[in-house]
């Protein structure tokens, strides 16, 4: 509990899904929360639960992480008010499933702005703050999709591969400042994310045996705070699958292609 209590923790994508659940679990442990997302009403609803149920100190700062100017303004405002940011959890992100040759390229650009560039800029600005105090983990929520590619998720997978690669390098650069960088790589999580990712429901149906709850992913993320973990890969089955995919890529391509072509 001591590693969480009174720590200033900034969560992006905090209005629903994993981010919302992170807010509740961290509030229950006495964290001071900065909650960001685009939806002001949803953020305030999450804040009220945190305050009423756990007596938490919560700051709401609406933010579109695709807007770099808005990120800079937000970081300047929050750090001027609070000083040190102890933990950053970059959780904001979205995806679509679509055959790449049919993909609207404006969606490609927007997804990279949110999933990659916004995450990178938040990390850069908050890392500068953390370096002043020589402490503070950065946790980037990526995905098993950043390790194992699946059909119709080319763009989403590309963004998550980028997040993992970026995080691995940032970890090396921040090590001398005692700042750890962890990637959380869940498989499919049963949240509103899939309302946009795959409205047909076919994707979730194909992977139903490994679908996770937001509560579980959040709990494993919270456990990683204050540790030196490089990655949290969920569930164990997909952690193993990602290793097999790396060792036996040709066979793995066949298995994945076959599994995701099920009707």
Q: Over the stretch 154-187, which tens digit does the pLDDT of each residue have? A: 999 999 999 999 999 999 999 999 999 999 999 9
- The torsion region of residue 28 among left (phi > 0), alpha (psi -120 to 50) and beta comes to alpha
Q: Over the stretch 188-230, which tens digit does the pLDDT of each residue have? A: 888 777 677 767 776 666 666 688 999 999 999 999 999 999 9
Q: What is the CATH number of the domain that holds 255?
A: 3.40.50.720
**Does the residue 2 lie in any domain?**
no
* Residue 130 CA from chain centroid, whole number: 19
Confidence at 1, pLDDT banded by 50, 70, 90: very low
Specify whether the CB–CB gap between 204 and 188 falls below 8 A.
yes
Q: Over the stretch 148-159, which tens digit does the pLDDT of each residue have? A: 988 889 999 999
Q: How many alpha carbons fall within 13 Å on the CB side of residue 65?
A: 27
Burial of 211 from C-beta contacts in 10 A (0-12 / 13-18 / 19+): middle
Question: CA 22, 135, 83: angle at the middle one, nearest 5?
Answer: 80
Which domain range does residue 18 map to? 8-259
Q: State whether residue 127 is helix, strand or coil.
A: helix
**Does the residue 3 lie in any domain?**
no
230: nearest Cα among 154, 142, 155, 114? 142
**Does the residue 60 lie in any domain?**
yes
Q: Which of 54, 61, 121, 156 is catalytic?
A: 156
Q: Over the stretch 121-131, which tens digit does the pLDDT of each residue have? A: 999 999 999 99
**Does the residue 157 lie in any domain?**
yes
Report the pLDDT value the prediction gives residue 33, as an integer from 0 to 100: 98
Overall number of domains in the chain: 1
Q: What gap in Å lies between CA 26 and CA 8, rounded to an integer?
A: 10
Q: Is 103 a catalytic residue?
A: no
Q: What gap in Å lies between CA 198 and CA 178, rounded to an integer?
A: 40
**Does the residue 1 lie in any domain?**
no
Which position has the token pair 């994945």? 256
**Does the residue 161 lie in any domain?**
yes
Sheet with 32-36, side-by-side order of all strands: 57-60, 32-36, 8-12, 87-90, 138-141, 181-186, 231-234
Q: What gap in Å lies between CA 134 and CA 59, rounded to an integer?
A: 24
**Does the residue 147 lie in any domain?**
yes
Output the 3-class SS for 165-210: HHHHHHHHHHHHHCCCEEEEEECCECCCHHHHHCCCCHHHHHCHHH
Please indicate, yes or no, whether the overall pTM of this predicted structure exceeds 0.85: yes
**Does the residue 51 lie in any domain?**
yes
């Amino acid at each position: 509990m001591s590693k969480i209590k009174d720590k200033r923790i900034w969560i992006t994508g905090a209005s629903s899904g994993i981010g919302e659940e992170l807010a509740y679990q961290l509030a229950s442990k006495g964290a001071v929360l900065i909650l960001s997302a685009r939806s002001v009403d949803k953020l305030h609803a999450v804040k009220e639960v945190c305050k009423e149920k756990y007596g938490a100190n919560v700051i709401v700062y609406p933010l579109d992480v695709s807007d770099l100017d808005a990120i800079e303004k937000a970081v300047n405002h929050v750090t001027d008010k609070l000083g040190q940011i102890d933990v950053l959890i970059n959780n904001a992100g979205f995806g679509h499933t679509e055959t790449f040759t049919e993909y609207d390229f404006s969606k490609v650009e927007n997804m990279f702005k949110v999933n990659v560039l916004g995450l990178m800029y938040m990390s850069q600005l908050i890392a500068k703050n953390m370096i002043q105090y020589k402490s503070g983990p950065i946790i980037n929520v990526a995905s098993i999709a950043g390790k194992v590619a699946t059909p119709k998720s080319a763009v989403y997978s590309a963004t998550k591969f980028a997040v993992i690669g970026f995080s691995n390098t940032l970890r090396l650069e921040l090590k001398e400042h005692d700042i750890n960088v962890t990637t959380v790589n869940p498989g499919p999580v049963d949240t509103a994310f899939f309302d946009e990712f795959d409205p047909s429901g076919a994707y979730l149906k194909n992977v139903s045996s490994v679908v996770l709850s937001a509560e579980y992913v959040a709990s494993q993320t919270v456990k990683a705070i204050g540790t030196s973990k490089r990655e949290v890969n969920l569930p164990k089955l997909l952690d193993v699958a990602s290793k097999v995919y790396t060792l036996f890529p040709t066979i793995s391509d066949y298995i994945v292609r076959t599994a995701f072509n099920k009707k």
